[in-house]
Amino acid sequence: MTRIELVQGDITTQEVDAVVNAANSSLLGGGGVDGAIHRAGGPAILAECKELRATRYPDGLPTGQAVATTAGNLPARWVIHTVGPVYAKKEDRSHLLASAYRESLRVADELGARSVAFPAVSAGIYGWPLADAARIAVTTVREADTQVEMARFVLFSAEILRAFEKV
């Protein structure tokens, strides 16, 4: 069973096997967690992402999917990039958010990662309501069939941490 930890902090400083990046489908960096990981990890991450775009994902990484690259200068060994869904009030896209977590764990298993740090996927600029994002994240990781021994949710603010603690 995977042990779940909750911390408020900076995901780019986590000493884990793999850090999950809340990426956009282009894989070429962006704002929020994505921008922070690319900045802290350095050019090696972007170089691998460009190669993935050219060879495997010319139309971008699909929502709910995940793929790994080097972690560059981060203390982790790998970055697992996943694309969470943009929140849509009139359409239930929760299966895509759960898939982003499940697929990240699947990739972690393929890599042999035993510890993974997750951000609150889709809970930032993608507008997912915090309470629901936390419920989906924690439930999906708790119920996953994975070899990952520890999943740490590294949450940017006290508000996000509180939402995850309630779950």
Q: Which residues contact 126 (CB under 8 A, 6 or more apart)?
A: 22, 84, 85, 86, 87
Supply the pTM of this predicted model. 0.97
Give me the phi and psi of 52, to 5 degrees please.
Answer: -60, -40
For the chain, give every domain's residue range: 3-166
> Is 3-166 a domain of CATH 3.40.220.10?
yes
Long-range contacts of 138-142 (CB under 8 A, 24+ apart): 138/4, 138/164, 138/167, 139/98, 139/167, 140/98, 140/101, 140/102, 141/2, 141/4, 141/101, 141/105, 142/2, 142/4
Instruction: Read off the pLDDT of each residue in 68-77 and give the average, rounded to a whole number.
Output: 98
Which one is catalytic: 17, 34, 59, 109?
Answer: 34
Structure confidence by residue, pLDDT tens digits, 26-63 = 999 888 999 999 999 999 999 999 999 999 999 999 99
Residue 34 known to be catalytic: yes
Structure confidence by residue, pLDDT tens digits, 79-104 = 999 999 999 999 999 999 999 999 99
Q: Is 106:100 a contact under the CB 8 Å cutoff?
A: no
Give me the phi and psi of 19, to 5 degrees please.
Answer: -110, 135
